[in-house]
Homo-oligomer: A and B are copies of this chain.
Amino acid sequence: MPESTEGLKTRFLSLAPNGDADSLRSLLEVMPDQDAAEAFEDLEKNAQSALLKRLTSDDFEDMLPHLPAPLAEVVLQHFPQSEQREALEEMWDDELADFLQDVPEENRDRYINLLDEETKETTEELLSYPETSAGGRMTTAFAAINATMTVREAIASLNEQREDTEILARIYVLDTDQRVVGKVRLRDLTFSPRSTHVADVMQPEPVAVNAQDDQEEAANMMLKYDMMVLPVVDDEKKLLGVITHDDAMEILQEESTEDLEMQSGIAGTPDELGYLETPVLSHLRRRFVWVLGLAVLAISSGYVLVSFEHFLDGRFLLALYLPMVVAAGGNTGAQAATSIIRAMSLGEFEPSDYIAAVWKELRVGLCIGITAGLWIALLTPVVIVLLPGTADSISAYQLASIAALALVAQITTSTILGAALPILANTLNQDPAVVASPAITTVVDVTGLFIYFGIAKVILGM
């Protein structure tokens, strides 16, 4: 039985301060690289330096792509230039591009100049795509053969390519213009007679993503079609690279983090460092814009409240349901926005479906509003009994009617707004998630006050 990954990590951490180089090296060889990187990151700064002195650059090569960029730079810069070059060239081309995207610009050029011509060229091509595009996530280390080859020739060709190929599970069959005409699995070659032609064992591959498309589109294709590898092509359909299953998972994870953070008003991309390691000021920077923006917006609610305030004189009971009606708008608006955004990101909507979607939310909103309104109206006698007796010009019956009608109006309005805003954002080519939760809540706070006081005026006959 192999030792568990936790066991290996614990052993590494206890060996790191004083263990001899050979024991550490043989431990690093059996540890997954990701755990080695995590363990190294967990060490105190001076324990890290001590380890850098005791081990060679070879020992660090495999963990480099899994370290946060600043720490990877510390490791690299401990070793002479020739070893830096070697370590950088050992990385997969997409790992190298990711690392270079995360380092300060002046260092980036220095690292690029260390590379041999071929690696340099590939790296610069990958860096020319936006970081979050399909091109920015692809690797050029794919396996390709020609349709005219026999299985024997194909296996021989793959044997030559395999050191430079990240994944052999999907092998692309190309025409002379480098366009994908099909794909084979290694198993199709391994278990076929050696004289068969590749064209006879290949399968069609109609799915590909353009290098300029967003990484989310690539990940969604791989999710939909259960793909292990997705071809990335240019406008002429020439194969440029592939996105592999592990990158697809990372993209899905990043996008879901982004959506969650947008929904709670956290801006920008997370720090390379973990939560606890990220300085307070970096947390502040990502959160403060939304907090201040929403606070300033909320002053408009304040204006409305001030202008209706005299109205509460002698009608104390009205205040009882004010927070509830306002809050119900924020909650139902956020629900509607999330439902629409989810359906959009699963590719369920064509623009022609937008009217249908808003119409559905209108009905959902009305149903929720009416049911909630009825419940609260029925609860009103109980709620009032619990209140310390105050003389008031409003009857329980009036209060219940105001609350019920206001809930119906506020919930319906907020639901429609919650559905319409992401659709509007999408139509304007903005990320629909950016208008989600906090912005909607602030908008419907204002409408809620108008609705509540407006209905109260009508019911109380003013």
Q: Can you give 18 contacting A-B residue pairs, CB < 8 Å? A: A223-B253, A226-B246, A228-B246, A253-B256, A260-B260, A263-B263, A264-B335, A264-B437, A266-B339, A275-B343, A281-B367, A283-B360, A287-B335, A287-B368, A295-B375, A298-B324, A301-B323, A303-B320
A283 near B205 with CB under 8 A, answer no
A245 near B228 with CB under 8 A, answer yes
Output the nearest chain B residue to A166 by Cβ-Cβ distance. Answer: B226
B338 near A266 with CB under 8 A, answer yes
Q: What are the interface flags for A417-448 relative to B under an 8 Å C-beta threshold, 1 for contact and 0 otherwise?
A: 00000000000000000001110011001000
A2 and B323 in contact, given A328-B291, A331-B438 (Cβ under 8 angstroms): no
A390: CB under 8 A from chain B? yes
The number of times this chain is found in the oligomer is 2
A63: CB under 8 A from chain B? no
Please give the distance in Å from A270's CB to the nearest CB on chain B: 8
B274 near A301 with CB under 8 A, answer no
A228 near B225 with CB under 8 A, answer no
Please give the distance in Å from A449's CB to the nearest CB on chain B: 8
A317: CB under 8 A from chain B? yes
Q: Give residues of chain A (274-324) contacting chain B, Cβ–Cβ below 8 Å.
A: 274-276, 280-281, 283-284, 287-288, 290-292, 294-296, 298-299, 301-303, 305-307, 309-310, 312-313, 316-317, 319-324
Q: How far is A299 from B237 in the complex, measured between Cα atoms in Å?
A: 60
A260 and B249 in contact, given A179-B1, A187-B162, A280-B367 (Cβ under 8 angstroms): no
Please give the distance in Å from A173's CB to the nearest CB on chain B: 11
**Which residues does A use to contact B, with CB under 8 Å?**
1-5, 8, 30, 32, 34, 155, 159, 162, 168-169, 179-182, 185-187, 189-191, 204-207, 219, 222-228, 237, 245-246, 248-250, 252-253, 255-257, 259-261, 263-266, 270, 274-276, 280-281, 283-284, 287-288, 290-292, 294-296, 298-299, 301-303, 305-307, 309-310, 312-313, 316-317, 319-324, 326-328, 330-332, 334-335, 337-343, 346, 348-349, 353, 356-357, 360, 363-364, 367-368, 371-372, 375-376, 379, 383, 386-388, 390, 407, 411, 436-438, 441-442, 445
B162 near A191 with CB under 8 A, answer yes
Which residue of B261, B317, B379, B441 is within 8 Å of A306 (Cβ)? B317
Please give the distance in Å from A63's CB to the nearest CB on chain B: 13
